[in-house]
Amino acid sequence: MSADLRITYYVAASVDGYIATADGGTGWLAPFEASGDDYGYADFYAGIDALLLGRRTYEHCLGFGAWPYADKPCRVFSRDRSRRLHEDEDADESSAIRITADDPATVIGELAAAGARNLWLVGGGQLAGEFLLRGLLTDLVLSVVPVTLGSGIPLFGGDAAPAALQLRSSRLHSMGLVQLHYRIGNGQD
């Protein structure tokens, strides 16, 4: 992976480490979203070249109405390539949303070859765990939300590898939300 390529897992999680309820619900975030604080999201999103999503996260985002990432290329990882996942039947290779069963490193390489340098791993936890295991994540921007869920979808699912995290910054936001920016593992700036 190129030294100038960044893959950031930018995510909110409960204090007990869950990104969603067991059924994928994120309603527990509503009071924080309504606070008027965007928690640095607009600036972060402006610097992103492409998005990486797991199938369940993609399907969850479809529930928002209009596709929230229409201005950026999106790659949706699905083991079942035969499922259309609501992808446009007439989509061509330049389509903003592409469903893929390809290896993550291959997809990242294709995006990098097209000029992408800053990728956002939107989620979910299973995909994030796989990226961490493969050494593909460079950054974690974790918004720790002051609630506990007790159970749900973990921040990193599957067989996520142990990783050294180097704190780059921390910021206290409204309603007690704390955002932590970590560099993962290799010590590169």
Whether residue 152 is preceded by a cis peptide bond, meaning omega within 30 degrees of 0, is no
Tell me how far apart the alpha carbons of residues 75 and 14 are, in angstroms, rounded to a whole number: 26
Residue 19 near residue 147 (C-beta atoms within 8 A): no
**Which tops the pLDDT comparison, 159 or 20?**
20
pTM of the full structure: 0.89
**Which tops the pLDDT comparison, 64 or 112?**
112
Provide CB contacts within 8 A for 75, sequence distance 6+: 50, 51, 52, 53, 98, 100, 107, 111
Q: Which domains does the chain have, with CATH numbers?
A: 6-184 (3.40.430.10)
Residue 163 near residue 185 (C-beta atoms within 8 A): yes
pLDDT > 60? residue 188: no
Q: Write down the H helix ranges in the chain.
A: 30-33, 41-46, 55-62, 104-113, 125-133
Chain-centre distance of CA 3, in angstroms? 20
Q: Widest CA span of the chain, in angstroms?
A: 45
- Could you tell me the two tokens for 20? 């969603």
pLDDT of residue 186: 56
Chain-centre distance of CA 155, in angstroms? 10
pLDDT > 80? residue 129: yes
pLDDT > 50? residue 90: no
Q: Which of 68-72, 167-171, 185-189 has the lowest mean pLDDT?
A: 185-189
pLDDT > 50? residue 87: no
Query: DSSP label at 165?
Result: E
- Could you tell me the two tokens for 185? 């593992």
